[in-house]
Amino acid sequence: MNPEHSWPIPPPGGWTADDLDTLPNLPPHTELIDGSLIFVSPQTLFHSRTVDFLNWQLRSLVPRGLEVVREFTIDIDRRNRPEPDVIVCSEDVLTDLAQTRFPAKAVLLAIEVVSPESVDRDRETKPLKYARAGIPHYWRVENKDGRAVVYVFEREPASGGYVATGIFHDRLKVAVPFPVDLDLTTITAKRQRSE
């Protein structure tokens, strides 16, 4: 008989960014939002394919001095350590293979692929926190009738908030933060198997 699982009880004031590295038995990809632990639900095939696609495609396009990393936490502040699906950051922060997070100031682009359970966080909570932390670019990817749609945002320096700079349905073509031209239809296209 398996012992019943017990959930960690938060301390007064909630968890901190440092707690995320020391709490035992947390599920993979646990995030910290406003001092609360956020456990990720099982991901859809769309989510998995989209994250893989963006990770590998951006790795082939990213300029020297930048690195593409998937599913890695960002230190926003003491009570917030979200985990975007894909990050483009300065390679200067890749200091140790045992590191578990990057400082927000080193992140150039944060990408979230929306899941049914993450809609509010990915549309409202996380973009606000990323913008306040000074992350210049944010992309949100959603599944619209079986096709990937990418919503692109850039941080406006005067207000400190994101402004929408484009909505891309079949092809993502942008000049910033670096030139990107991707065929989004390949994410959900059925793969041909050779016999």
Structure confidence by residue, pLDDT tens digits, 107-161 = 999 999 999 999 999 999 999 999 999 999 999 999 999 999 999 999 999 999 9
Mean of the pLDDT values across residues 19-41? 90
Give residue 53's pLDDT band: very low, low, confident or very high (50, 70, 90): very high
Q: Chain-centre distance of CA 165, in angstroms?
A: 19
Strand 107-113 versus strand 137-144 pairing type: parallel
Give the separation between CA 181 and CA 176, rounded to whole angstroms: 11
The answer to whether residues 121 and 130 touch, using CB atoms and an 8 Å cutoff, is no
Give residue 10's pLDDT band: very low, low, confident or very high (50, 70, 90): confident
Residue 12 backbone phi and psi in degrees, to 5: -55, 130
Global pTM?
Answer: 0.92
Q: What is the mean pLDDT of the chain?
A: 92
Q: 154-163 pLDDT, tens per residue?
A: 999 999 999 9
Q: Which pLDDT score, from 0 to 100, does residue 2 have? A: 54
Q: Which pLDDT score, from 0 to 100, does residue 95 have? A: 84
Alpha helices in 65-154 (DSSP H): 119-120, 126-132
Give residue 191's pLDDT band: very low, low, confident or very high (50, 70, 90): low
Tokens of 49: 């394919």
Mean of the pLDDT values across residues 162-191? 94
Most confident of 7-11, 19-23, 85-89: 85-89
Q: How many CA atoms lie within 13 A of 48 on its CB side?
A: 5
Mean of the pLDDT values across residues 39-48? 90
Mean of the pLDDT values across residues 33-50? 92
Q: 59-77 pLDDT, tens per residue?
A: 999 999 999 999 999 999 9
User: What pairs with residue 110 in β-bridges?
Assistant: 87, 138
Q: Which pLDDT score, from 0 to 100, does residue 55 have? A: 98
Give residue 41's pLDDT band: very low, low, confident or very high (50, 70, 90): confident
Question: Can you count the helices (H) and strands (E) in the chain?
Answer: 5, 12
Query: Based on the number of CB atoms within 10 Å of its own CB, is 124 exposed (0-12), middle (13-18) or buried (19 or more)?
Result: exposed
Closest-CA residue to 113 (of 41, 174, 65): 41
Tokens of 188: 């959900």
